[in-house]
Structure formats: C-alpha cells, structure tokens
C-alpha cells in the first residue's frame, strides 16, 4: 500500500494552473471540486493500492470544514486534509502572526493534519510596507513554532526548477511551459533569486528544530547533493518527490543515492490532480527501476507519511 502525500482534492485552485493568481486573490470562487466523484476516486485508490491521499487544499475555517466533511470525516483513514493560512494578514502590520497562529490552532482543533504553504510566501505576499514576505522573515517565526507545538508538519513549496528564475529566451529549457504558465516565471525584479529562497528554506529548518518541514518537489531537484546535505544535517526536514518524475528519471544514479541514503526522509506523492491511474503506474515503474531495498521503498511510499500523519492526528 502507498500514501500519496501531495495532492489536491479541493476547490480553490483556478483553472489552467493559475495557482499563484488564485492564491493572491484569496481563492478562485466558483471553482468546482477537483474530484467530482469521491466514490470513483476511492475505486481508483483501491485498484492502485493507495491507502491514503493527502489533500493540501483545506484552506481554513468554512472551507476547511467542507473539505473535512467531504473527505476525512466521510471516509476515515483514506484522506488527510492539510490547512492553509491567509497570508494577506501580513499587510495589516508587523503583528500579523497572531492571527495566523490563531487560525492554525482552529484548523488543528477542527482536524487538519498538517499545514500547506504555497510558494506565494516568498514570491507574492507582501507586508504592510509593500515588501515581499520571505519564509525566514522573523515575524513568521511564531507560526512555525506553533505548527511544531500542534504536531502539524509544514509542507512548504519554496523553490522551483532553476529555469523558472532564468531569462525567458531560446536557451531556457522550460520556455514553452513558462510561456503557457506565465505566473511560473519569476526571473528578475521583484523576485528573489533561487539561491535566496533555498537559503530561506534552510534557515527555517535550522531555526525551528521541533517543527517538521517537508520540502515540496524535493526543493532543489537539480541539486540532489544539496537535498542530501539537508537530510544529513537536520533531523526535522523531509522532502516529497511530487511533480518531479522527469527530472529524477534524468538522473537515476543521483536519485538512487539520495533515496538509498535517506529513505526515512523522502515521501512519495504525485501532485497529479485529479488523481490519475497512469501517474501512479509511471511512478511505480520508475521506483521499481531504482532497485531499492524493500524496506527503503516501503518507507518512501508508505511508512514515512504514515508517521507524519499520526502526529497531526494526536
């Protein structure tokens, strides 16, 4: 059995991948549920031996309750919904963390199993002075500490492939995808460079050892040695492999090294929504090709996520 530790089952993401715009606008009103038929999804999960899917779209308050009702409470054990936070409060003044911590506490009490932080923290949200809000801003520190105290893992999307931060010219290997998804392209002013975001991710991991941080999409998929160093240095960091199959397949030896040396730090996840049987098949084939020890593979596809979710359920 497996746990898909990174997926989206909610109804706030805008169509055509305009996630950044939707987040900064406070959601996408009128967007339907990603999954129209929960029963059909459960059938897919059973066929592909998916014990649980982590739903990252809980948002907060009424929207969180709607997700919990539709998934976690209706089908115990099959879904685990993470909450999010309303970072627009940062524009209210320097004490915005108070409201965010209160929101996090409400979400934990309602049944949220973790906290999802989108990449707009660092690339979009601004404070009362109009400055970009970065993950390692000291004003946010109470939020990270509160997540740890509540037993909620923080799954944070901090960085992207290096091409996202490079000029959009013919030398950019992601040129076509970035032209189709312009909100993915974050080259130059006002955005921080990729190195600054990686620095910020490591800074919060180091400063909050009692909080578990999960770096979405391996954080720096093109530098798995950097990822391995974080796993060696910090006991409270994990990563998920979601949405990075092509990049991992292009470097199988480096991937095998990372997964073999740190099988307790890597989470399986797809970020394919609605969940797709073909995606699960492709991941199964790739992981099998790595010839990992059985115990390492079991940890990656199931056990690590199960331990994380047990903390959020405490």
Per-residue pLDDT of the chain (314 residues; tens, 9 = 90+): 999 999 999 997 765 556 777 787 777 677 899 999 999 999 999 999 999 999 999 999 999 999 999 999 999 999 999 999 999 999 999 999 999 999 999 999 999 999 999 999 999 999 999 999 999 999 999 999 999 999 999 999 998 888 888 998 999 898 988 888 888 888 888 899 999 999 999 999 999 999 999 999 999 999 999 999 999 999 999 999 999 999 999 999 999 999 999 999 999 999 999 998 999 999 999 999 999 999 999 999 999 999 999 976 65
pLDDT of residue 314: 58
Q: What CATH number is attached to the domain comprising 228?
A: 3.20.20.140
**Whole-number Å distance between alpha carbons of 229 and 218:** 12
**Whole-number Å distance between alpha carbons of 232 and 161:** 22
Residue 158 phi/psi, 5-degree rounding, is -110, -40
Residue 155 in 3-state DSSP? strand
pLDDT of residue 189: 86
Paired tokens of 29: 């009103």
DSSP β-ladder status, 115-117 and 154-156: parallel
Q: How many domains does the chain have?
A: 1
Torsion of CA 84, 88, 93, 99, to 10 degrees: -30
pLDDT of residue 110: 98
Domain limits at 253? Answer: 2-312
Q: How many CA atoms lie within 13 A of 46 on its CB side?
A: 6
Indicate the angle between helix axes 252-261 and 224-233, nearest 10 degrees.
10
DSSP per-residue letters across 214-237: EEGGGS-TT-HHHHHHHHHH-TTE
**Whole-number Å distance between alpha carbons of 78 and 87:** 29
How many beta carbons lie within 10 A of that of residue 119, not counting itself?
22
Query: Exposure of 110 by Cβ count < 10 A (0-12 exposed, 13-18 middle, 19+ buried)?
Result: middle
pLDDT of residue 26: 77
**Whole-number Å distance between alpha carbons of 84 and 31:** 17
């Amino acid at each position: 059995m497996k746990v898909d530790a990174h997926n989206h089952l909610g109804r706030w993401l805008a169509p055509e991948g305009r996630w950044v715009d939707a987040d900064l606008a406070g959601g996408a009103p009128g967007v339907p549920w990603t999954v129209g038929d929960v029963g059909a999804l459960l059938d897919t999960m059973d066929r592909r031996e998916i014990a649980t899917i982590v739903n990252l779209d809980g948002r907060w308050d009424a929207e969180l309750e709607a997700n919990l009702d539709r998934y976690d409470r209706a089908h115990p054990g099959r879904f685990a919904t993470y909450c999010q936070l309303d970072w627009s409060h940062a524009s209210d003044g320097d004490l915005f963390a108070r409201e965010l911590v209160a929101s996090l506490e409400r979400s934990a009490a309602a049944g949220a199993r973790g906290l999802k932080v989108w990449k707009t923290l660092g690339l979009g949200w601004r404070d009362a002075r109009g400055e970009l809000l970065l993950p390692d801003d000291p004003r946010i520190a109470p939020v990270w500490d509160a997540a740890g105290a509540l037993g909620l893992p923080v799954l944070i999307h901090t960085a992207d492939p290096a091409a996202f931060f490079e000029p959009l010219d013919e030398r950019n290997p992601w040129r076509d995808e970035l032209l189709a998804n312009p909100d993915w392209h974050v080259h130059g002013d006002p955005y921080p460079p990729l190195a600054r975001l990686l620095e910020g991710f490591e800074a919060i991991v180091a400063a909050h050892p009692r909080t578990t941080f999960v770096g979405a999409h391996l954080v720096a998929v093109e530098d798995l040695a950097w990822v391995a160093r974080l796993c060696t240095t910090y006991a409270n960091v994990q990563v998920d492999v979601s949405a990075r199959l092509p990049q991992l397949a292009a470097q199988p030896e480096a991937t095998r090294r990372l997964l073999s040396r740190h099988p307790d730090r890597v989470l399986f996840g797809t970020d394919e929504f609605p969940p797709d049987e073909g995606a699960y098949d492709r991941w199964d084939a790739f992981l099998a090709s790595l010839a990992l020890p059985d115990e390492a593979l079991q940890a990656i596809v199931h056990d690590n996520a199960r331990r994380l979710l047990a903390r959020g359920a405490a």
